[in-house]
């Protein structure tokens, strides 16, 4: 596809509102991971969906100088990519979900080198979760919205996910929002921790 250069830079939310949440103002710098927590049902996922422009919302979201509505929605989402808590797969084999059918760096998450040829139906839930993250990173997004990316993983796999995401965020210099419930994880990966309280975000920890 003949795309111009994708937008890049800091993620900015200005007076963003979705459902009972908002108005929310937030700035996440390139290379920074901001952790987001809150009681279940507080609207974390809805906030991420609004930033990815999957739900109608008020206010402004922008990446660098590029506002959300300045781009066709699919190009915005290609830049600002949401990894949902539950991963779903539409084709039979793993590779079909990846650009050019290649799974980059499977070993980084402890996966077999031949994983691209595996059948989706035979994947464990942990494998699916890790592959869903690789599926996102393979598309080289310019901003990451991660909804509990290590919720069902054991300690070793969780650590690998944290390392992989941390490396990507730093090397590609992209902003990231990371929803997590685990205070220890938040302390490990994030430079700031925000909690959803009532209708807005408050600084936690």
Partner 1 sequence: MTLIDLSWWQLALAAGLVVALAGLAHVARLGMSGSLLVAGLRTAVQLSLIGVVLEALFSVATLGWVALMAAVMLAMAGREVVARQKRPLAGWWGAGIGTASMFVSSFAVTVLTLVVIVGPTPWYEPQYAIPMLGMMLGNTMTGVALGLDRLTDTVWRQRALIETRLMLGERWQEAVADARRDATRSGLIPIVNSMAAAGVVSLPGMMTGQILSGTPPGLAVKYQILIMFTITAGTGFGTLVAVSAASRRLFDGRERLRVDRLRPVKR
Residues touching partner 1, count (CB under 8 A) = 26
78 lies in the site for partner 1, by CB under 8 A: yes
Distance from chain centroid for Cα 204:
20
55 lies in the site for partner 1, by CB under 8 A: yes
74 lies in the site for partner 1, by CB under 8 A: yes
Applying CB under 8 A, among 77, 130, 160, 193 the residue interacting with partner 1 is 77
87 lies in the site for partner 1, by CB under 8 A: yes
| Nearest residue (CB) to partner 1, 76 versus 193 | 76
Q: Site residues for partner 1, window 152-191 (CB under 8 A)?
A: none
130 lies in the site for partner 1, by CB under 8 A: no
| Nearest residue (CB) to partner 1, 139 versus 205 | 139
**Minimum distance of partner 1 from residue 110's CB (angstroms):** 23
Q: Find all residues with CB under 8 Å of 102, minimum gap 6, and list them.
A: 95, 116, 138
195 lies in the site for partner 1, by CB under 8 A: no
Calculated CA dihedral for residues 111, 116, 120, 126, nearest 10 degrees: 20
Whole-number Å distance between alpha carbons of 126 and 150: 9
Which segments of 66-152 are extended strands (E)?
66-67, 80-83, 143-147
**Residue 87 φ/ψ, nearest 5 degrees:** -95, 135
Applying CB under 8 A, among 56, 113, 184, 203 the residue interacting with partner 1 is 56
**CB distance 13 to 60 below 8 Å:** yes
């Amino acid at each position: 596809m003949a795309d111009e250069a994708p937008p890049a830079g800091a993620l900015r939310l200005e007076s963003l509102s979705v459902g009972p949440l908002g108005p929310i103002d937030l700035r996440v710098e390139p290379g920074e991971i901001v952790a987001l927590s809150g009681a279940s049902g507080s609207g974390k996922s809805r906030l991420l969906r609004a930033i990815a422009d999957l739900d109608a919302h008020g206010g402004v979201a922008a990446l660098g100088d590029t506002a959300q509505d300045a781009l066709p929605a699919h190009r915005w989402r290609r830049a600002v990519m949401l990894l949902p808590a539950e991963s779903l797969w539409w084709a039979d084999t793993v590779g079909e979900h990846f650009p050019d059918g290649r799974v980059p760096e499977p070993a980084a998450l402890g996966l077999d080198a031949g994983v691209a040829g595996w059948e989706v139906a035979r994947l464990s839930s942990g494998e699916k979760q890790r592959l869903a993250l690789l599926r996102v990173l393979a598309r080289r997004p310019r901003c990451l919205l991660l909804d509990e990316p290590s919720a069902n993983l054991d300690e070793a796999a969780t650590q690998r996910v944290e390392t992989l995401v941390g490396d990507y965020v730093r090397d590609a210099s992209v902003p990231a929002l990371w929803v997590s419930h685990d205070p220890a994880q938040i302390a490990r990966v994030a430079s700031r921790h925000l909690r959803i309280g009532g209708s807005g975000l408050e600084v936690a920890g």
